[in-house]
Amino acid sequence: MKDAKKAPGEIRQSQLVTTFDPGSMIDLLKYSVLIGGLNFWSPGGESIPEPRLSQKLARVLGVLSVELKSPPPVDDDAAAPTTGITGFQFPEWFITQDLEAGSRQGVRSRLLVHRKALTKGKYIDRDNKKRPVVPVRFVRACRAGHIGLG
């Protein structure tokens, strides 16, 4: 039996709680995504019985109790409700990569374009030429560490 092809961006549960936790950026083939916080996880993870850790977290957070859960499982059944964790495309700005017609040889004329201006991952200019793009990989953050998406 042939293995099912993984969806773009599918990661293992162990990666989600170690390498790619909420707020992490994952670089996919054609774009990057930020992993959504716990409020963007679909329900369904199993409870993890760790009483000492739960009590310590509750004390640190100043709440009565904390329930630990595993990440939501993936269901391969197409008829099942959608499960998973939301990822937000970031960055939303791209730069064109080819040489502009009429420009000096070896000089790039890079246009800054928003993801909404792309068609199938390419920017179509005024002359209907499809121009390849790469994401702008810079991050703006406030002093509290929140990433600026604007």
Last residue within a domain, chosen from 88, 106, 122: 88
Let me know if residue 39 belongs to a domain: yes
For residue 23, give its domain range: 13-88
Give the distance, in angstroms, between the CA of residue 93 and the centroid of all CA atoms in the same chain: 14
Last residue within a domain, chosen from 88, 106, 130: 88
- Give the ranges where 19-132 is alpha helix by DSSP (H): 51-61
pLDDT category, 3, cuts 50, 70, 90? very low
4-10 contact pairs (CB < 8 A, 24+)? 4/76, 9/33, 9/87, 10/74
What lies within 8 Å, CB to CB, of 91 at 6+ separation is 32, 135, 136, 137, 138, 139
The answer, yes or no, to whether residue 59 has pLDDT greater than 50, is yes
> pLDDT per residue over 73-114, tens digit each?
777 777 777 777 888 888 788 888 766 555 556 555 678 888
pTM over 0.85: no
Please indicate whether residue 131 or residue 6 has the higher confidence score (pLDDT): 131
Please indicate whether residue 36 or residue 11 has the higher confidence score (pLDDT): 36
pLDDT category, 15, cuts 50, 70, 90? confident
Let me know if residue 75 belongs to a domain: yes
Let me know if residue 130 belongs to a domain: yes
3-state secondary structure of 13: helix
- Co-location of 19 and 71 in the same domain: yes
What's the pLDDT at 61? 94
> pLDDT per residue over 120-147, tens digit each?
888 888 888 888 888 876 667 778 777 6
